[in-house]
Structure 1
């Protein structure tokens, strides 16, 4: 019986090639979108799950409110790991990672190569994480100072082989070349890991002021013992605050946790499971760019909706083509075929069509995956589709889709009355028409939602890119690793400023972009330290050309003057810092800072206007500048737009003269600024692509419904034409119903889209406001596309010779 059903289905497919191709392509596109998004979601969920002890690994996060200023961060004190291991048996071991001083210059022959994917790690790192070794013993590899574990890629890059345990890498540190012994080589860290390092240096090589409970510079991971309850252990983290942090706050008049909390301060530590980090962490100082569980939910919904749209298409196209199968059904019923057998045949045919569509969808996925990887910044392999996690679902998919898409056509076709269909009278009740209309409304409601979402994301990104952040980011050339110039950095600046193409130059490690150096200072406006009058502020070391080069405006006071002894104990603050201090006229006022060597007094000589020195997801916080001649990582040149190539060439030649063998690595500040919003840009691109595909699939569905309605009303149209109706009048009559459906879809989708996009915009401190025109544009676009699709079939029906339809009467 099944064989017979398949043969009949195949013959019908070949007999109606155009209809079958449209039906197959609609379903294949929907399935292809579903498969691509499934691969994306599977990749996002797989992060950090490959570690053998992943279920027992937890990272600590910090939340602090001090002096009314709140901050949440991934960083923790260096003391946390050793203290908790000593005090609590639930800790099997811990591992700390430090990415300070992570940019390394490594000698290869006579030249140096810049490495950014580096970190310092405890010797216990490989006891916690599962990164297989190719050479050497990872469990002892980081026990001694001046040792390093490298990835297979790094080993081939520097030595041409992975069998390099025992050899040395030469690292430039200040003015010295320090050899680091390669003690182990590991496989490259997977792309689905939030840890992606090529070189791991022993923590014992890090020059650091160890043992502080108040300096937050380390990523701390705990491996709990089997059976340990993470919730119980997390409560012990409060005791760490009591035992180790509070004693360091005695200078602020705080002697116990009660004093600390009475002053309105908060310090908490919380555990995050390793497998939750990628999708559930929204903190700004992640080791690698995090994903978002919100986007996973959004794309899951999009995948489901597009699949449903494709299934709805199948229903509408199949019922639209029902007139061609009605006599077949009538004859088979007269010959005694039961309705359940007819339903079985049609469900088999729909499943057969779903299998063919899936084969086409797999081919489309294979072709589209490279572009999809490029857009999403992933390296998903096509073979992942046939992994043991996804293959069972893939095999089940056509049967689910076949049942879902074919159930209504099977019920509808098998319900034809033999007498009516054999007389050529195919009638449909209002209930069936209502169901099909509801399905079309759902299709276009989804399309409207996606269009509105795409418009809002686009406008928000455009707002970020066009909004004045308070500094000049255009035509600023950034030269990295400027510290290798040593005391020649001033001479480099002076030589570059000789060129008329260079307007100004500055050297600093602190830039208003993500990933730049950051440093906190605790200050107050009184010459006493107390729990209620201090707050944390960003402290950036700059030279006297920094403000002019970046176009940061002074609201009051003056800039630094190099060579002025008084300015070495002066600061320039931003407007937010002045508000927190309560200084309406801050110039000449004092601020006090409790530092490791005592209380420092600084005089405010200037106040800059607030500018966005972090992502626009965050509000502008307090900031101060201090004159610094310390070695800088970045050298910035403000240049004329048309002369960038000449300036780069001159800088490269001068660099090779002053720092021979050192890599000349550069970029532009506006590019780094835009990189902060890569995740949002990817969402916009993905949303736009799937919006277009959803509309395309929906148009196929509405084309099917238009075909069906034209067939149902063929005699009515013919009679109207005989009575003098015009082609335009008939076209308008047929289009009226579809205009109504699109309007209903818009009314349903617009409020939900507005709510969803408002929730998304809440993640930005600086954001657009939803405007009526965004909704109007989405509705008008959807309506125009629907009318163009329907009008083709409507005009065709209106132009048909009425005698053709009335001849049988």
Structure 2
């Protein structure tokens, strides 16, 4: 019996090749798109879950409110890890990680820049699952000047994973013996490092201050530990041990500090939440965005629903043509359950075909999707393990849903009524199909609006005056490897080049991640109520003119003014928090270390206009600039006449001073755009998915228009015989569909405005959703729908009426 159902299903589907193709292709396209998004979401949600003890690993955060600043930071003091391990039975093991920044690793006669370098405790391998293929994890990082590298790094520098005992040279001066080779860290990890150096080799690891937060501290808790009870105990421990230092520096106890509205606390973030917890500043790795995951998941669901709606719409529309077939079958004695089984079989066959094609399409387009999304997604056994049962369930559920309406509806008619042609009246209304078309185009218009808003925000970011000029600036990296003397020589040589306007040496740039935060006080008594917690950057006298930052009051630093060693320039945000109408000439005080008697004062010599030195998702915060040698990188403003020649001249000056180190540079405008790479990527993917959603929706509309034209063939013939012109017939066939699109616009526009306004709340500086965005989306959808319908309408209007009326 089942074999007979399948045979009849194939025969029936082949009779309507066009509708079958639209059904299968639309379903396949929707499901393939959904699969690609599911791969992306699965990859994002799997971050750090490869660790065996992922559910018991937490990162310790530093939560603070002090000096006008409030926030949570992913770093803690150097002494926090050992203190937690020693004083809390709940803590099984601890490990600290400190990013090592960019360093130069020698390979033969070439120095290669490496940025995936970190200092780590020897207990790293007790906390994280980092399988070692060579070496002993328990001792690999205990000796100074040892290094643990990944397999790919071993292959890169030694052409073999058998690298234990071999030596790497860092920065031309430091020699590190390889004591371990670990497997490549999975891409789904926030620990994106290839080199691990001993923590003992970093001088900061011995800092005993409770308020110098530079280290990423991870704890492995014992099974059964209640984290909600453990967190308050940590903060109480911090209060007890850090209070003497607090009293020494600002003469205040923690209780008085909290009474004034300030606080310092420790909190925990589960390892598996780190990737998406972007509200905590200073996290390692490239942070994810759970909002993007939600949006893409919604898009996947929407596109799948559109595809399924198409399938159901076309299935129910075409089923009326089989009414006589049902009548004949019932007259010949076919039970209703057999008719239901036949319709369901046909529906499942089409769903199966669409699902199989979708799998191959998703696999074929996976490299393209990887390029768009910045991922390296692959089809793994783990994915196949859950994909097969999900696809099977999808085939059964969608097949039964799409086939249920025609199966139950048609099989219930009396054969005498069907054979007399009375069924047609039941299909003229088509309320279900109309509702489904409105649903499809509501989703399409929503997606079009969302894409317009995303690109409008990106355009706003690119065109917004951020307070500095990032155009025509080359940033030369790793200038610090030259040493202070050679770095200044390099700056002097570059300044003499014909195409160069100005040059500045500093590690701190608005397009870089470098930052340094400390507290200043308005009075030498260092009252917490007079505190200003601020970023402080070391710059030279050429910093402001090179970056085009404007002075609002006072003056710039001058190399001829020796007193500028104690001078600072503040931004408008700092001046506002300090409450000064005219800050120039005022003093700020900073404790030197942990000794309240070692207070240094700084003279405010100028105020600069606010500039966005962080992402536009954040408001401008207080910033202080001080004059000091900082030679990590160099920024060069140049004329736009001959960019390549200027860059080549700078590279030549570099080669003369450092022939064995590669010239490493970037353009500041590219660095700026990279900050918003995730938003740009989201915009591209949104366009692609929105286009696919529209294509799938239009496939269904195309099929319904063809069906409507077919149902009204004789009516069109009569109208043409009576003198109706083509435009009148096209208008008659399209107006009903366009009315449905208009209803979809009315439904989708307010929903899109509401959701996209919420998305924009994530930016401190944002565009506004205007009426033209909603109008553009609506008109665009209407035009696409009209073009889709018109093709079939014009075809029907141009048909010879003699053929349609021949039987009359």
Return the TM-score normalized by structure 1: 0.96
Report matched runs for 1:615-626 at 5 Å: 615-626=615-626
Shift of 1:445: 0.4
Match of 1:202 in 2: 198
Shift of 1:61: 2.1
Residue pair 2:68, 2:533 contacting (<8 A) in 1 also: no
Match of 2:511 in 1: 513
Match of 2:152 in 1: 153
For the residues of structure 1 that align with 2:61 and 2:405, how far apart are their CA atoms?
Answer: 52
The verdict on how the C-alpha distance between 1:789 and 1:384 changes in structure 2, with shifts beyond 3 A counting, is farther
Match of 2:378 in 1: 381
Does the residue aligned with 1:429 lie in a helix, a strand or coil? Answer: helix
Give CA-to-partner distance per residue, 1:116-155, whole Å, 9 cap, x none: 0011111110000001111001222111221111011111
Residue pair 2:312, 2:401 contacting (<8 A) in 1 also: no
Residue pair 1:68, 1:264 contacting (<8 A) in 2 also: no
Residue pair 1:253, 1:529 contacting (<8 A) in 2 also: yes
Do structure 1's residue 72 and structure 2's residue 82 form an aligned pair? no
The verdict on how the C-alpha distance between 1:672 and 1:284 changes in structure 2, with shifts beyond 3 A counting, is farther
Does the residue aligned with 2:24 lie in a helix, a strand or coil? Answer: helix
Match of 2:217 in 1: 220
Give CA-to-partner distance per residue, 1:520-568, whole Å, 9 cap, x none: 1211222221121102111100111111111111111111111421001
Shift of 1:771: 0.5
Do structure 1's residue 178 and structure 2's residue 174 form an aligned pair? yes
Report matched runs for 1:439-458 at 5 Å: 439-458=436-455
Shift of 1:684: 0.8
Unaligned ranges ≥5, structure 2: none
Match of 1:316 in 2: 313
Match of 1:346 in 2: 343
Match of 1:272 in 2: 269
Match of 1:553 in 2: 550
The verdict on how the C-alpha distance between 1:16 and 1:716 changes in structure 2, with shifts beyond 3 A counting, is closer
For the residues of structure 2 that align with 1:424 and 1:805, how far apart are their CA atoms?
Answer: 18
Give CA-to-partner distance per residue, 1:464-516, whole Å, 9 cap, x none: 0111111111111111100122212222122222222111111100010242x
For the residues of structure 2 that align with 1:255 and 1:750, how far apart are their CA atoms?
Answer: 56
The verdict on how the C-alpha distance between 1:621 and 1:665 changes in structure 2, with shifts beyond 3 A counting, is same
Compare 234-243 and 711-720 and name the one that shifted more.
Answer: 711-720
Match of 2:121 in 1: 122
Shift of 1:720: 3.3
Report matched runs for 1:50-199 at 5 Å: 50-99=50-99, 101-172=100-171, 177-199=173-195
For the residues of structure 2 that align with 1:444 and 1:593, how far apart are their CA atoms?
Answer: 61
Match of 2:397 in 1: 400
Do structure 1's residue 672 and structure 2's residue 668 form an aligned pair? no
Residue pair 1:369, 1:382 contacting (<8 A) in 2 also: no
The verdict on how the C-alpha distance between 1:605 and 1:678 changes in structure 2, with shifts beyond 3 A counting, is same
Does the residue aligned with 2:81 lie in a helix, a strand or coil? Answer: helix
Match of 1:301 in 2: 298
Shift of 1:237: 1.9
Residue pair 1:320, 1:707 contacting (<8 A) in 2 also: no
For the residues of structure 2 that align with 1:790 and 1:411, how far apart are their CA atoms?
Answer: 30
For the residues of structure 1 that align with 2:408 and 2:509, how far apart are their CA atoms?
Answer: 66
The verdict on how the C-alpha distance between 1:489 and 1:455 changes in structure 2, with shifts beyond 3 A counting, is same
Shift of 1:711: 3.1
Give CA-to-partner distance per residue, 1:409-444, whole Å, 9 cap, x none: 333443455345444555143796111001001100
Shift of 1:759: 0.9
Shift of 1:518: 0.7
For the residues of structure 2 that align with 1:385 and 1:312, how far apart are their CA atoms?
Answer: 30
- Alignment counterpart, residue 498 of structure 2, candidates 497, 500, 509: 500
Shift of 1:284: 3.9
Shift of 1:254: 4.9
For the residues of structure 1 that align with 2:800 and 2:656, how far apart are their CA atoms?
Answer: 85
Shift of 1:707: 2.3
For the residues of structure 2 that align with 1:317 and 1:358, how far apart are their CA atoms?
Answer: 17
Residue pair 2:315, 2:402 contacting (<8 A) in 1 also: no
Compare 338-347 and 108-117 and name the one that shifted more.
Answer: 338-347
For the residues of structure 1 that align with 2:671 and 2:281, how far apart are their CA atoms?
Answer: 16
For the residues of structure 1 that align with 2:264 and 2:252, how far apart are their CA atoms?
Answer: 15
For the residues of structure 2 that align with 1:256 and 1:601, how far apart are their CA atoms?
Answer: 24
Give CA-to-partner distance per residue, 1:64-91, whole Å, 9 cap, x none: 1102221222112222211111111000
Unaligned ranges ≥5, structure 1: none
Residue pair 1:39, 1:384 contacting (<8 A) in 2 also: no
Does the residue aligned with 2:642 lie in a helix, a strand or coil? Answer: helix
For the residues of structure 2 that align with 1:528 and 1:428, how far apart are their CA atoms?
Answer: 91
Does the residue aligned with 1:62 lie in a helix, a strand or coil? Answer: strand
For the residues of structure 2 that align with 1:189 and 1:445, how far apart are their CA atoms?
Answer: 43
- Alignment counterpart, residue 522 of structure 1, candidates 506, 511, 519: 519
Match of 2:32 in 1: 32
Does the residue aligned with 1:153 lie in a helix, a strand or coil? Answer: helix
Compare 369-378 and 484-493 and name the one that shifted more.
Answer: 484-493
Do structure 1's residue 788 and structure 2's residue 794 form an aligned pair? no
Give CA-to-partner distance per residue, 1:564-587, whole Å, 9 cap, x none: 210010001101111111111111
Does the residue aligned with 2:604 lie in a helix, a strand or coil? Answer: strand
Does the residue aligned with 2:471 lie in a helix, a strand or coil? Answer: coil
- Alignment counterpart, residue 290 of structure 1, candidates 274, 278, 287: 287
Residue pair 2:523, 2:589 contacting (<8 A) in 1 also: yes
Does the residue aligned with 1:681 lie in a helix, a strand or coil? Answer: helix
For the residues of structure 2 that align with 1:386 and 1:610, how far apart are their CA atoms?
Answer: 49
Shift of 1:385: 7.4
For the residues of structure 1 that align with 2:707 and 2:414, how far apart are their CA atoms?
Answer: 18
For the residues of structure 2 that align with 1:432 and 1:124, how far apart are their CA atoms?
Answer: 72
Report matched runs for 1:607-618 at 5 Å: 607-618=607-618
Residue pair 1:60, 1:74 contacting (<8 A) in 2 also: yes
Residue pair 1:385, 1:391 contacting (<8 A) in 2 also: no
The verdict on how the C-alpha distance between 1:524 and 1:386 changes in structure 2, with shifts beyond 3 A counting, is closer
